[in-house]
């Protein structure tokens, strides 16, 4: 709310104090809705810088511009400092704006006597105004806490695109902001009293309730989406395990057939040898090796890992990529299917994509525990035609056809490594045309 | 350097011998002393040094796992590369601590990469330095040095057998304890990455945490990358 002419210093201090409190409330809210992307110091610096700029502009005392700056500051901070996507960011920023406007209006409504007094004799140093400011910020904090309670501590999944229903819910708080600002403008400029004023304030209370309901609906939609995603992952895991066991059964049968037919094959080779037809012998032996000796898919003592790797063993065989896997006993037992897939599948997807373009391409996957260490090391070396690092930025260049998919695999790997307090590095060996990825994860057995 | 091959398949041992000689020729390194055996018992009867051993798992009589057990008892620093043609995952074999596993038929480039890594490890294990203390001067294997710490003018050398105060200054140790195993992590610490248990942004924990070395902020990124590359070669 804008006040009349007043010494500049007290105005600045007053506004700065209000924005400082709102900045703390934003930090508090952000800490509960999503994972942080940066350090605490970085978050505090970003929020306070954004709010200082908004505060400076607020001295112009235009509520529309103030609200726009407040909304933009919240959007910028939530987007840069947490892991949620832009559309969800807009929703949270809009909800905060609505709650902030409502908190100020509620306080004004409850102090109607001060409000009338307010228009005629405004002063930042007046105890009434200071009390108003404190009260509105307390109510703002209370409403933010209520919204968080409605969400019941549910944090948004990082980097997940919200569903269409969640996106449409964004519109309601945005419309509410416009309606509330319209009411504020009317109340400031027109002398509305009696029943119409009561109706306006009742409408504002209803808008508040609608927005709290929207927060609840948004949370429900997110939870349903998360449950659906978890179910899909569970189904994927069951599918992978089922495929893996089918391959084991198939291999077992093929080996029994081979043992049964070994005498026949040896007689055939002996006959070809009598005819001294070396090329035919070579062809026959290659045929047995390729068709009757299937690749083993049991490459570790971790069945979950085997189920994921079995897909890549068949894929590499199909693409003529030489794949060597060395997994030592008793490792990665602490990873669930989702994390295992995020880590191993994404690593191998990138490796296959690089190696398939190289003649006689190869992939080496080594998983072992270094001596003296409680950590598990995952080292992947794959053929790579050229250096994939951008010489200017040092970042990896993606060759995926769909630009929307750039970097998702690598981000997924980095998130999983971070979740297990690990570290990773990548480099390109120009001499051997090989790309190396080395990951160290802590205490996973 | 002495390399031993133990495999019951004579054709395979010949192939391995050719690959090794080609590798050393290509790298212009003096060819090693190569010895071939076809049983575990014959290998264990060898009385010479064993620096690098190519060991088959499936052999008649004493199999590769039993041979490995005897081998590491006799030779603490022997580097073992296991070769196997067995398609299935060998649970018993994967529990033993060996340097690398190679599947038959051997793929040339993969073989060369593994031998290169084995040579790096061999050099790090076989290098010795002169340790000069008040009590005596002795030849010390660098593999047994955990870290070197400097506190003012006092230098402390932490080894696997205890600590001592060498006469040589910190700068001397800085010049001789170098890559690939050693790295300076702080102006007063040089560590052997072989003994790193875990680390954070400020400290490196060695030998299960019994020794701590400082890690300066500006060296963190370099240390992290170097340590991971070092582990890759093990």
pLDDT digits (tens, 9 = 90+) for B92-108: 767 777 888 888 888 88
Neighboring chain B residues of A299 at a CB cutoff of 8 Å: 89
Give the pLDDT confidence score for residue A6 in this predicted structure: 52
CB atoms B198 and A364 under 8 Å: no
Q: Which of B106, B116, B196, B232 to mutate to test the interface with A (most CBs of A within 10 A)?
A: B232
Query: What confidence category does residue A215 fall into, taking pLDDT thresholds of 50, 70 and 90?
Result: confident
* CA–CA min distance B6, chain A (Å): 21
Please state, in angstroms and rounded to a whole number, the distance separating the CA atoms of residues A299 and A248: 12
| A374 lies within 8 A of chain B by CB | yes
Please state, in angstroms and rounded to a whole number, the distance separating the CA atoms of residues A439 and A426: 9
* CA–CA min distance B3, chain A (Å): 23
| A377 lies within 8 A of chain B by CB | yes
Give the strand pairing for B79-84 and B100-103. parallel
Q: Which of B23, B89, B191, B210 to mutate to test the interface with A (most CBs of A within 10 A)?
A: B89
Structure token pair of residue A218: 């948004």
pLDDT tops 80 at residue A310 = yes
**Average pLDDT estimate for A119-124:** 49
* CA–CA min distance B45, chain A (Å): 28
Is the predicted ipTM greater than 0.90, yes or no? Answer: no
Q: In this prediction, what percent of chain A has a pLDDT beyond 90?
A: 13
Structure token pair of residue A423: 């570290």
- Residue pair A30/A40 in contact by the 8 Å Cβ criterion: no
Q: Chain B neighbours among A 280-319 (CB < 8 Å)?
A: 293, 295-296, 298-301
* CA–CA min distance A264, chain B (Å): 22
Please state, in angstroms and rounded to a whole number, the distance separating the CA atoms of residues B234 and B230: 7
Give the pLDDT confidence score for residue A114 in this predicted structure: 46
- Residue pair A83/A16 in contact by the 8 Å Cβ criterion: no
* CA–CA min distance A87, chain B (Å): 35
CB atoms A324 and B110 under 8 Å: yes
Q: Which of A65-69, A264-268, A353-357, A407-411 has the lowest mean pLDDT?
A: A407-411
Query: What confidence category does residue A1 fall into, taking pLDDT thresholds of 50, 70 and 90?
Result: very low
**Average pLDDT estimate for A340-365:** 90
Query: What confidence category does residue A400 fall into, taking pLDDT thresholds of 50, 70 and 90?
Result: low
Give the pLDDT confidence score for residue B171 in this predicted structure: 92
Q: Which of A366, A369, A370 to mutate to test the interface with B (most CBs of B within 10 A)?
A: A370
Query: What confidence category does residue A376 fall into, taking pLDDT thresholds of 50, 70 and 90?
Result: very high
Q: In this prediction, what percent of chain A has a pLDDT beyond 70?
A: 84
Distance of CA B220 to CAs A169, A184, A372, A439, Å? 45, 55, 20, 16
| B228 lies within 8 A of chain A by CB | yes
| A425 lies within 8 A of chain B by CB | yes
pLDDT tops 80 at residue B21 = yes
Mean pLDDT of chain A: 79
Candidate ranges A94-108, A177-191, A288-302, A391-405; pick with highest mean pLDDT: A94-108
Per-residue pLDDT tens for B24-61? Answer: 998 888 888 999 999 999 999 988 888 999 999 888 88
Helix axes B10-26, B108-126, angle to 10 degrees: 70
- Decide which of A431 and A205 is more confident: A431
**Is the link from the previous residue into B176 a cis peptide, with omega within 30 of 0?**
no
pLDDT tops 70 at residue A126 = no
Residue in chain B lying closest to A295 (CA): B87
B149, β-bridge pairs: B156, B189
Number of Cβ pairs closer than 8 Å across A and B? 75
CB atoms A425 and B229 under 8 Å: yes
User: Any idea which residue has 């109706």 for tokens?
Assistant: A199
Considering only CB atoms, B228 lies closest to which of A293, A299, A440, namely A440
Please state, in angstroms and rounded to a whole number, the distance separating the CA atoms of residues B223 and B185: 7
Considering only CB atoms, A373 lies closest to which of B88, B196, B229, namely B196
Q: What predicted TM-score, i.e. pTM, was given to this entire model?
A: 0.70
Query: What confidence category does residue A158 fall into, taking pLDDT thresholds of 50, 70 and 90?
Result: low
């Amino acid at each position: 709310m804008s006040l009349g002419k007043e010494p500049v210093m007290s105005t600045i201090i007053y506004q700065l104090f209000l924005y400082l409190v709102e900045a703390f409330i934003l930090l508090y809210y952000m800490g509960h809705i999503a994972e942080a992307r940066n350090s605490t110091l970085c978050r505090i610096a970003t929020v306070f810088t954004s709010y200082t700029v908004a505060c400076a502009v607020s001295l112009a005392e235009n509520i529309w511009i103030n609200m726009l700056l407040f909304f933009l500051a919240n959007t910028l901070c939530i987007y840069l400092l947490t892991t949620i996507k832009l559309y969800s960011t807009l929703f949270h920023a809009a909800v905060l704006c609505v709650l902030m406007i409502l908190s100020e209006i509620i306080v004004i409504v409850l102090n109607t006597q001060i409000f009338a007094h307010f228009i005629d004799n405004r002063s930042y140093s007046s105890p009434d105004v200071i009390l108003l400011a404190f009260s509105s910020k307390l109510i703002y904090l209370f409403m933010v806490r209520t919204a968080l309670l409605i969400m019941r501590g549910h944090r948004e999944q990082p980097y997940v695109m919200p569903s269409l229903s969640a996106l449409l819910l964004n519109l309601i708080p945005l419309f509410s902001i416009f309606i509330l600002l319209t009411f504020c403008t009317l109340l400031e400029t027109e002398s509305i009293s009696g029943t119409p004023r009561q109706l306006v304030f009742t409408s504002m209370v209803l808008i508040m309730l609608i927005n709290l309901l929207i927060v609840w609906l948004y949370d429900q939609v997110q939870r349903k989406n998360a449950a659906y995603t978890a179910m899909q992952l569970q189904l994927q895991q069951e599918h992978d395990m089922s495929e893996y066991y089918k391959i084991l059964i198939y291999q077992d049968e093929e080996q029994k057939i081979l043992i049964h037919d070994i005498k026949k094959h040896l007689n055939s080779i002996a006959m070809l040898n009598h005819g001294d037809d070396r090329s035919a012998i070579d062809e026959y032996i290659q045929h047995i090796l390729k068709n009757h000796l299937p690749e083993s898919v049991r490459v570790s003592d971790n069945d979950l890992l085997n189920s994921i790797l079995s897909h890549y063993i068949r894929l590499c065989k199909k693409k003529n990529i030489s794949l060597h896997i060395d997994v030592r006993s008793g490792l990665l037992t602490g990873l669930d299917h989702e994390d295992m897939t995020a880590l191993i599948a994404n690593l191998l997807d990138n490796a296959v994509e690089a190696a398939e373009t190289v003649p006689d391409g190869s992939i080496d996957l080594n998983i072992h525990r270094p001596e003296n260490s409680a950590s598990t090391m995952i080292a992947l070396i794959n053929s790579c035609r050229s250096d994939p690092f951008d010489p200017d930025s040092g970042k990896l260049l993606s060759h995926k056809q769909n630009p929307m998919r750039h970097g998702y695999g690598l981000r997924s790997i980095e998130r999983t490594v971070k979740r297990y307090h690990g570290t990773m590095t990548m480099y390109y060996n120009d001499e051997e045309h090989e790309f190396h990825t080395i990951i160290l994860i802590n205490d996973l057995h | 350097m002495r390399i031993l091959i133990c495999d019951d398949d004579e054709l395979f041992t010949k192939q391995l011998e050719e690959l090794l000689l080609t590798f050393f020729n290509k790298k212009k390194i003096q060819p090693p002393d190569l010895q071939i055996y076809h049983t575990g018992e014959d290998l264990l009867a060898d009385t010479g040094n064993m620096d690098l051993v190519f060991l088959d798992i499936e052999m008649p009589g004493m199999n590769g796992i039993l041979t490995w057990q005897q081998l590491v008892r006799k030779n603490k620093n022997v580097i073992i590369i296991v070769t196997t043609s067995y398609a299935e995952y060998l649970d018993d074999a994967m529990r033993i601590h060996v340097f690398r596993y190679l599947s038959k038929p051997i793929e040339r480039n993969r073989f060369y990469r593994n031998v290169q890594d084995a040579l790096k490890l061999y050099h790090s294990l076989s290098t010795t330095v002169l340790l000069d203390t008040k009590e005596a001067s002795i030849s010390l294997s660098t593999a047994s040095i955990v870290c070197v710490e400097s506190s003012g003018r006092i230098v402390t050398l932490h080894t696997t057998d205890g600590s001592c105060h060498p006469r040589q200054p910190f700068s001397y140790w800085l010049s001789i304890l170098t890559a690939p195993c050693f790295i300076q992590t702080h102006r007063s610490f040089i560590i052997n990455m072989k003994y790193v248990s875990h680390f954070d942004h400020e400290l490196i924990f060695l030998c299960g945490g019994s020794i701590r070395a400082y890690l300066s902020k500006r060296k963190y990124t370099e240390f992290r990358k170097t340590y991971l590359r070092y582990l890759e070669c093990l």
